A and B are shown apart, each in its own frame.
Chain A
Amino acid sequence: MADTHIPHPDLPPPVSIVGPIGWLRRHLLSSPLNIALTLLALCLLYIAIPPLLGWTVLNATWSGDSRDACQANSGACWVFIRVHFDQFMYGFYPDGQRWRVDLTALLLIFSAAPLFIRTVSSQTKLRIGLSILAIYPIIAFILLTGGWFGLAIVETSQWGGLLLTLVIAGVGMTAALPLGVLLALGRRSRLPAIQTLCVTFIEFWRGVPLITVLFMSSVMLPLFLPAGMSFDKLLRALIGVSLFQAAYMAEVVRGGLQAIPKGQFEAAAALGLGFWKMMGLIVLPQALKLVIPGIVNTFIALFKDTSLVLIIGLFDLLNMVHNATTNPAWLGFSTEGYVFAAAVYWLFCFGMSRYSQSLEKRLHTGHKR
């Protein structure tokens, strides 16, 4: 007669490996070195936090509208930021027209909101995302530049602050990703002409610093254009940033394409899928998901690199802050200004990073092959 094997029942884990005590032991006190490091970190925090907190919050001045209000306190003078806040957001965008900027931002926030809600199906999300990509740039362009529907024209030279930063970053990202995907596909193409073209393009743009690109677009390009012909400085910067970042994006995407096993291409081909359907339905969805960290890394770098446009005289957030610190009425508050600018940049970059993490988790379908 055969013995029936009765599996041993699962026992609950001991207290030392679960719960808060387990967490402490595992993460902070797992070895003598770890204990020493934990103590050192506590020490550093003890030294650093009180003065930081004092300067930014406890001893800071929050109200008032001139620099005199700040004389009494030893901490930060946030009045400086409050007074210049509109400038930091809109640059030199005319006062009476700033609602247009707000409306543009609100439109984006509301139309994109469903993309961040978990219960919305991915099909709907795709549809919403594509329609935003198709329609929103046109609406934003009309709203911001004007000249249509009785809106006053606002020259792009008047755009500035966070508005300009977001415009450059937004255009750069939406142009760089698809362009980068095409370049990556081109670089892996078996057609020598396309491959050479893509390799040359990528290597050229990766080989020059962004500052050079911006300089060339604003100083050298006009030399080659016929006299009297010029096009918008912002537009030139946008094209420069987009092409530059597309080259980086192409290499990120190529990394993803190379990680897709040959069997996936073969299975798709064997079902009769053509090149674009194979890429669009089978290969790219997997490849792009693999390189989300790389894509977001490039996006974050792009977002921060927008500050380089100050070199060609565009007033993005950082340049507006810099400009305000040289205001004779507000000399001596550059620390507050740069801390504020850093905080805004950090907020956006951190947001992107968190979103990418949640995206990665959500797209994981429990496979390794």
Chain B
Amino acid sequence: MPESPAPKPLSDQTMIQMDGVHKWYGAFHVLKDINLTVQKGERIVVCGPSGSGKSTAIRCINRLEEYQRGRIAVDGQELSNDVKQIERIRREVGMVFQHFNLFPHLTVLENCTLAPIWVRKLPRKEAEEAAMRYLERVKIPEQARKYPGQLSGGQQQRVAIARSLCMNPKIMLFDEPTSALDPEMIKEVLETMVTLAEDGMTMICVTHEMGFAKTVAHRVIFMDSGEIIEQNSPEEFFTHPKSDRTRLFLSQILHH
């Protein structure tokens, strides 16, 4: 694992504010009273057993999931049912998925320039230059003309990160970005995420990579059955977990 990025003082500007968010799938109560405040530049790792609602929680932030109670504000704009408002917020929130979700009918470069051209209305040339810069940053500029189907999983995930960065988001959400990858490829994706962290990006990352959490996160959040059970700095979280549930989870994930 690379060196921990130098701690930067967090600004007191709030990027994400979740207040009493509840969500039901039919009768099933998936999210129970989620309260979370994320400062600008803060890096948060969310962990927990599968089905604990951690993915659902971060997918509420860019409204890929609806919620029935509570309020969420992103960079001061409150999420509403207004489609235009949702689209405005989504422009500022990049998301990286477990299964990459690259557009298979477009080349890597086109994947990266599509949203800047059609949503941000950038001229094609400018969008392509920016895309190449980001592809260089994730270290695969030479793959720009290939189709996603021709790349390895790790490369695809790095393209997905570059695609999100091309929109110049203020926040990046990672939804288990390494869970679908072979062990050999996890490292390259995590390294990309660490460089992103070094640049001061506001990040929320759902992951089971506890090494990543230890080195990069300002705060680790543990969720179970739709609730935030515990949140703390990584040092405290890993050495002195407060609840029994957290202790059980950590013992399972660290000694398997």
Residues of A within 8 A of B (CB): 261, 263-264, 266-275, 277, 281-282, 285-286, 289, 363, 365-369
Contact = CB atoms under 8 A, between A and B. Distances in A.
Contacts of A273: 87, 115, 118-119
A4 to B, nearest CB: 20
B9 to A, nearest CB: 30
Interface of B: 62, 64, 83, 87-88, 90-91, 93-95, 97, 99, 101-105, 114-115, 118-119, 147-150, 160, 163-164, 167
B93 to A, nearest CB: 7
Nearest to B88: A272
A189 to B, nearest CB: 14
26 contacts: A261-B101, A263-B97, A263-B101, A264-B101, A266-B64, A267-B101, A268-B103, A269-B90, A270-B90, A270-B94, A270-B95, A271-B91, A271-B163, A271-B164, A274-B87, A275-B83, A277-B118, A281-B114, A282-B103, A282-B114, A286-B105, A365-B105, A365-B147, A366-B147, A366-B150, A369-B104
A270 B62 contact: yes
B87 A270 contact: no
Nearest to B62: A270
Contacts of B105: 285-286, 289, 363, 365
A67 to B, nearest CB: 58
A125 to B, nearest CB: 15
B127 to A, nearest CB: 13
A281 B118 contact: yes
Contacts, number: 74
B115 A271 contact: yes
A271 B64 CA distance: 11
A268 B87 CA distance: 11
B103 A366 contact: no
A232 B118 CA distance: 43
A261 B104 CA distance: 11
Nearest to B103: A282
B88 to A, nearest CB: 8
Contacts of A286: 103-105
Contact of A270 (B83, B88, B93, B148): B93
Contacts of B147: 365-367
A49 to B, nearest CB: 45
Contacts of B164: 270-271
A366 B146 CA distance: 10
Nearest to A267: B101
Nearest to A289: B105
Nearest to B160: A267
B149 A271 contact: no
Contacts of B90: 269-272
A368 B156 CA distance: 14
A298 to B, nearest CB: 22
Contact of A365 (B88, B149, B163): B149
Contacts of B83: 274-275
A367 B118 contact: no
A268 B91 CA distance: 11
Given A281-B114, A366-B149, A369-B149, A271 B104 contact: no
A266 B164 CA distance: 13
A286 B83 CA distance: 24
A272 B87 contact: yes
10 A-B pairs with the lowest CB-CB distances in the bound complex, closest first: A367-B149, A267-B101, A263-B101, A272-B91, A271-B115, A367-B104, A270-B95, A365-B147, A272-B90, A366-B149
